Structure 1
Amino acid sequence: MKLQFNQVQELAKALIEEAQQQKVSIAFAISDTSGELLGFNKMDGVSSMAANLAIAKAYTAAREGQATLDMGQWARENQRDVGYWADPNVTLFAGGVPIKVDGIVIGALGISGLAEEDDHKLAEQVIALTIFA
């Protein structure tokens, strides 16, 4: 199973609506299982750095099949830095969450622009609100 175009569009719409409801501005990226970008948007007032991080978060969560929050915690507990992954596109900042259907990763969502844990929570929340739940 792979992430379909209509699912990417539904997820993007839900993200924009939820961010507007919460009165926050974010950048978000949606990727396939290999980390390739399928969807991206940067709301007004969001920095270019946050936009780049959203893309890196989606890439990392997709490639590793786990949340970047968990990867960052593991790295700190095991005294590893991002170089451990030997991939310059990997980030350990929270906000990247894999999208799973029946336990199988079909893509990932990366959010940036808020505090790291808020990025993570918003990603989980929006995934749960869409057809991916």
Structure 2
Amino acid sequence: MLTTENTLRALQLTIAEQAGKQQPVSIAISDSHGELLAFVRMDGASLHSGVVAQNKAYTAARDRQATADLGAWSRSSGRSMGYWSDTRFTGFGGGLPLRVNGEVVGAVGVSALSEDDDVLVAQALITRLLP
């Protein structure tokens, strides 16, 4: 279960880590429905990365899978992201669902770096969010 205290603590630790690496990012944490619980766009992260991070968390929560996997499916099937009829869905890597005992309890979205690096930051954040 995501609590306010745990969510903010994990967010602060991730911000400190990224600041130390001089790699500013935008980070979004959502509940299991994709509704925003916490968000930050670090100093130096692009404005657009904030929108993308929120959409990554939203997509990962709603679709119950990594956004990169959804993007791969879109490319391999030849179906556009518009197939979902939800303009917020994205297939860029960096959105991951947060599972506890196999159940999606939330999601994270990270944006501003390469997709691979966004995924690494998201994975580290999920580790911090787990009880």
TM over 0.5: yes
Q: Is the 8 A contact 2:11 2:125 kept in 1?
A: no
Give the corresponding residue for 2:87: 88
Give the corresponding residue for 1:42: 41
Deviation at 1:72, TM superposition (A): 0.7
**2:27 pairs with 1:28:** yes
Equivalent residues in 2 for 1:43-62 (5 A)?
43-62=42-61
Q: Which string of whole-angstrom CA distances, capped at 9 and with x for unpartnered residues, describes residues 16-68 of structure 1?
A: 12212322000011000111111000111111111100000000001111110
Q: Which string of whole-angstrom CA distances, capped at 9 and with x for unpartnered residues, describes residues 97-121 of structure 1?
A: 1111111111010000001111012
**2:63 pairs with 1:64:** yes
Q: Which amino acid aligns with 2:4?
A: F
Which sits farther off after the overlay, 58-67 or 15-24? 15-24
Q: Is the 8 A contact 1:18 1:126 kept in 2?
A: no
CA distance in 1, matches of 2:124, 2:129: 12
For the residue of structure 2 that corresponds to 1:76, the secondary structure is: helix
* Alpha-carbon RMSD: 1.3
For the residue of structure 1 that corresponds to 2:108, the secondary structure is: strand
TM-score by length of 1: 0.92
CA distance in 2, matches of 1:103, 1:14: 25
Give the corresponding residue for 1:110: 109
CA distance in 2, matches of 1:107, 1:7: 13
Q: Is the 8 A contact 2:2 2:129 kept in 1?
A: no
Unmatched segments (≥5 aa) in structure 1: none
Unmatched segments (≥5 aa) in structure 2: none
Give the corresponding residue for 1:132: 130
